Amino acid sequence: MLLAIRERLMGIFGWVLLGLLAIAFSFFGLNWYFQDDARTYAVTVNDVDVALGEHQRTYQLLRSRMQSLMGEAYDPARIDEAALKKNALEQLIREQLLLQEAEAEGFLVSKQLVAAQIDSVDAFKDEGVFSKQKYETALRLQGMSPGEFEWRLSRELTTKQITNGIVQTAQATPAMLDAVYRLQGQQRRFRYLKLPLARYQDQVQPSDEEVQQYYEAHSSEFMTPERIRVQYLELKSDELEVIGDVEEAELQALYQEQSERYVTEEERRARHILVQVAGDADDETIEAARARAATALERLASGESFEALAGELSDDPGSAANGGDLGFFARGMMVPEFESVAFGLEMGERSEIVRSAFGFHIIEVTDIKPEVVKPFAEVRDELVDELLAGQRSDRFYDLSEQLSNLAFEQPDTLEGAAQALDLEIRTSEWLTREGGTGIGEHADVVAAAFTEDVLNNGNNSEPVEVADDHLLVLRVLDHERAAALPLDGIRGEVRAKVHDEKARTLARTHGEDLLASLKSGTPLDEIAATESLESQESGLIDRRAVQPGRRLVQEAFLMAPPDGGQASVTGLALGSGDYVLLALEEVRDGDLSALTDAEREQASRELSRIQGVAEMAALLDDLRSKAKIVIHDQSN
């Protein structure tokens, strides 16, 4: 049976799962997949078994999330697979402990809440309305039934009750807030002297022997990249042929079902004169405003220009300058009292005085765009395309399931799947772990190709979704391992690295000698003068400052405060190779009383959130200390 665990979860549906199941994507495991005589478990938590498949699913989810967050910087070769799998296992243990605690405390989730959560997912909607077909096909692409998804979601919502109950109700005390803000709002002032790397570069010259030694010690840096070529089968919805004609009755039914799409609502153009009055105004003020509106109405009745009166009398500055014109608007765009009257007037008709939350209006309709319904004949071709697209999509999902099964059942060849589904076996260009041309432009494809199972075990990959309704299955055709580049061809590059390393070492050594002098009592400015350099001052800055450089700011806020008027000193080598001597001269604690009420409230909310996270971590630690946890050996 084809395992329903996908290597890639970050297609159109992956973010839905990440959003809904951020705390607990999986809990017990698909125990119903396994018979008693063939059960494999990743971990047992208080006698509850978590299936090995669940560990793999959670691992793939974490891996996909990492790839999505890193974007183009993602490099599969740099991923510590063992650490990632350990993190996935720890997540499963935490989730299982939380679920058991929530159920022991009697937390329940209704079917109505689960349905409401599903109904809120945009990926399950068509034209903003929940679509059962989109829901089921999206789940099917992930190898999951609606029942399983709803079961998982129910458990995720169950654990959210206990986590939200702790995290969102934690409250920081005033004493805690004051103590934290003394540190968080702290300001520091320091002086620093930078020894630039450039002044040491002319003082070093690598020898041939040093170049040779560096090359031998760092041979892994000078390698031709590992590369592969893959065979693959590609399945795209828009390339599938649909068998059979579109029935006229189907088109008519679809037209009726989506009739709202083909209706352009009636729109009205109107102008108004507004006498503004506040909703909480007293009776005298209201009557005075009404009298002003009545006067305007009388002047209109006597023949005065609406445009001129709007410019003179209207309190709506946005329309008064345009003769009161509001432009075209549909129902739902104006306040109800205004809309009701405006849509009840005939062309050119003027209203009596209309009261709304804004005040008193006099409304005149100047133009009407009637409701327009596109006839069936006009949208018939569009409906045909939509039906055919739906049929192609259905066929795509059916074929994708067959492709998954065939690739799994015949893991060492693509021939059977190609013949059964009438697909062409294609061959890629050379790909490295950084990618390549063609299908190598898709990070998911590269990640799948370089997995242990595909690269070293010679198996077909799981289906890789590269776009909506577009996936492929691949296997490695050729594999060339990384090889060392000969020194003669890269001697200049190696020499440059040795030169840079020697210059950095010289800068750091000299800097450490000067630091020793600084610690012994030599003033920083005296050292600067000796080195023909100038020291700089940071001024009073907080820990979020970016000048005079994040690395310097971070170091300054790690240092011990000055003692008895004596500056605290340290030295550090920057990533650029420059060496910096730093003297911390002043520390001022944050003053909570200096914050505005709004800032203090924001600080309290943030600290309460941190407190809630800490309390949640403490609960998990307590649950784990009391739990019986057995991690099963997965090496066999």
Q: Judging by beta carbons within 10 Å of its beta carbon (0-12, 13-18, 19+), is residue 214 exposed, middle or buried?
A: buried
Question: What pLDDT is recorded for position 54?
Answer: 80
Output the pLDDT for position 143: 64
Q: Residue 486 and residue 223: Cα distance in Å, rounded?
A: 9
Token pair 């109505």 is found at 112
State the average pLDDT for the chain: 84
Q: Report the alpha-carbon distance of residue 636 to residue 621 in Å, rounded.
A: 30
State which H helix or E strand residue 192 sits in: strand 187-195
Q: Is the pLDDT of residue 376 over 60?
A: yes
Question: So where are the chain's domains?
Answer: 14-169+626-631, 186-219+491-588, 224-241+392-482, 266-370
Looking at residues 395-412, what average pLDDT do you find?
88
pLDDT of residue 574: 94
CB atoms within 10 A of CB 483: 10
Q: Above pLDDT 90, what percent of the chain?
A: 43
CA distance linking residue 58 with residue 154, whole number of Å: 17
Q: Assess whether pLDDT exceeds 60 at residue 246.
A: yes
Q: Say whether pLDDT at 477 is over 80.
A: yes
Contacts of 265 (CB under 8 A, 6+ apart): 330, 331, 371
For residue 460, what are its two tokens?
């077909």
Identity of the residue numbered 175: A
Sign of CA dihedral 391, 392, 398, 399: positive
Read off the DSSP letter of residue 221: G
pLDDT of res. 243: 61
Query: Per-residue pLDDT for 10 more than 60?
Result: no
Mind listing the pLDDT tens digit for each residue in 579-592? Answer: 999 999 999 998 88
Q: Is the pLDDT of residue 33 over 60?
A: no
Distance from C-alpha of 25 to C-alpha of 289, rounded to nearest angstrom: 60
Q: How far apart are CA 609 and CA 177, in angstroms?
A: 12
Given a cut of 50, whether residue 490 has pLDDT beyond it is yes
Q: Could you report the per-residue pLDDT of 280-318, keeping only the tens digit for each?
A: 888 899 999 999 999 999 999 999 999 999 999 999 888
* Cis before 196 (ω within 30): no
Q: What are the pLDDT digits (tens) for 326-363?
A: 999 888 888 899 999 999 999 999 999 999 988 999 99
Rounded to whole angstroms, how far apart are CA atoms 104 and 147? 24
pTM beyond 0.75, yes or no: no
Can you give the pLDDT at residue 257?
76
Which CATH code, of 3.10.50.40, 3.40.50.720, 1.10.8.50, 3.40.50.300, is assigned to 224-241+392-482? 3.10.50.40
Q: In 3D, which of 17, 41, 55, 245 has the Cα closest to residue 139? A: 17
For the segment 92-100, the average pLDDT, to the nearest whole number, is 88
CATH of the structural domain 14-169+626-631, one choice from 2.10.50.10, 3.40.50.720, 1.20.120.430, 1.10.4030.10: 1.10.4030.10
Q: If residue 276 lies in a helix (H) or strand (E), which one and from where to where?
A: strand 267-276
Sign of the torsion angle spanned by Cα atoms 466, 469, 470, 475? positive
pLDDT band at 199; cut points 50, 70, 90 = very high
Least confident residue range of 27-31, 113-117, 352-356, 456-460 = 27-31
For 266-370, which CATH class? alpha beta
Top pLDDT among 386 and 1 is at: 386
What is the reported pLDDT for 112?
Answer: 81
CATH of segment(s) 186-219+491-588 = 3.10.50
CA distance 225 to 436: 12
Q: What is the pLDDT of residue 77?
A: 63
224-241+392-482 has the same fold as 186-219+491-588: yes
Within 10 Å of residue 20's Cβ, how many Cβ atoms? 18
What count of other Cβ atoms lies within 10 Å of the Cβ of residue 506? Answer: 18
